[in-house]
Amino acid sequence: MASQMTTDEDEIKHLTKESVLYFISQHAKNSTIKRSDFVKCILSDANRRTQNEVIKQTKDTLKKVYGLELIELNENVKYYMLVNDLEYNYNIPLNWPENEKNQQMLLLPILTVIFMNGGTISEMELWSFLKKLHIISDTSHVHEKFGNIDRILKKDFINQRYLVYEPIKNVNRQDNEEYIYEFRWGKRAEHEVSKEKILQHVSEIFECEITHFADQYAQINKENSSLHG
């Protein structure tokens, strides 16, 4: 019979271990975790104070041992998301298993064009951009190496929170459509992808200084200063 004498500390330690395992096993899917699922599965027997302490220690362990940051998202329903916290100092792929490395190659140009376009791009404009890169054609949105581009952009990247795909009111009303769809950076991209590195890369392509892109440069400075206070 389990001893009734386990202290609060022991309980917290045990639940922290369980929580870390829970999040790590979910991380394989690179998607979000519903807070309610997590609490029901791991923390249902614990009181509020213990729950908060466990989450705090879980965050610490995930950062220290795995270099992963546990982020809370509030999208009507509360979600957790694990994002990479390590500097990509080495040329070692950490987030993407072999068979998904291609998706990263597809993601970065898309994030770049959204950022350079002012943070948002309409669906039509994005297809046009991808056609120029020969990733899609007029007749097919399926790429030899990347796969079904529609599915990746509108489902996979959305689920992984790399992109956001939302309807906005069509101010032009050209096609008599009330809404058009636009793509923006998702929360995971905000956390994991460096806008500064993107701007540097773009500047190299155009052989100019990064200050040349005044709006983007200003945005980077603003975000950096709000981070460092």
Partner 1 sequence: MGESTIVCEESFATLIRYFMVNRQIEEDTLTQICAQIFSEGKTLANIIQAANTILDDSKMKIQSALCEVTSGKYYVLISTHFRPDSLWPNKYTNIELEYIKSIINELVISDTGMISLMKCLNLEMKMNKTDAQNLIKNLIVEKWLIEPYEGKLALSALSITELEPYFKQNYESLLNTCIFCQRNIFFGEICVNCNSIGHRACITKYQELMKNRFRCPSCGKNWNQLLHRNPDEAMQIIESN
Gap between the Cα atoms of 21 and 94, Å rounded: 18
State phi, psi for 81 to the nearest 5 degrees: -145, 140
Gap between the Cα atoms of 103 and 28, Å rounded: 15
In the complex, the smallest distance separating the C-beta of residue 13 from partner 1, rounded to whole angstroms, is: 9
Q: Which is nearer to partner 1, 18 or 190 (CB)?
A: 18
Q: Which is nearer to partner 1, 67 or 118 (CB)?
A: 67
Q: Which is nearer to partner 1, 82 or 210 (CB)?
A: 82
Only one residue has tokens 């376009």, namely 117
Chain-centroid distance of CA 10 in Å reads 34
Gap between the Cα atoms of 99 and 3, Å rounded: 47
Coil, helix or strand for 180?
strand
Q: Binding residues for partner 1, per CB under 8 A?
A: 17, 20-21, 24-29, 61, 64-68, 84, 86-87, 90, 92-99
In the complex, the smallest distance separating the C-beta of residue 20 from partner 1, rounded to whole angstroms, is: 6
In the complex, the smallest distance separating the C-beta of residue 149 from partner 1, rounded to whole angstroms, is: 17
Q: Which is nearer to partner 1, 93 or 167 (CB)?
A: 93
In the complex, the smallest distance separating the C-beta of residue 16 from partner 1, rounded to whole angstroms, is: 9
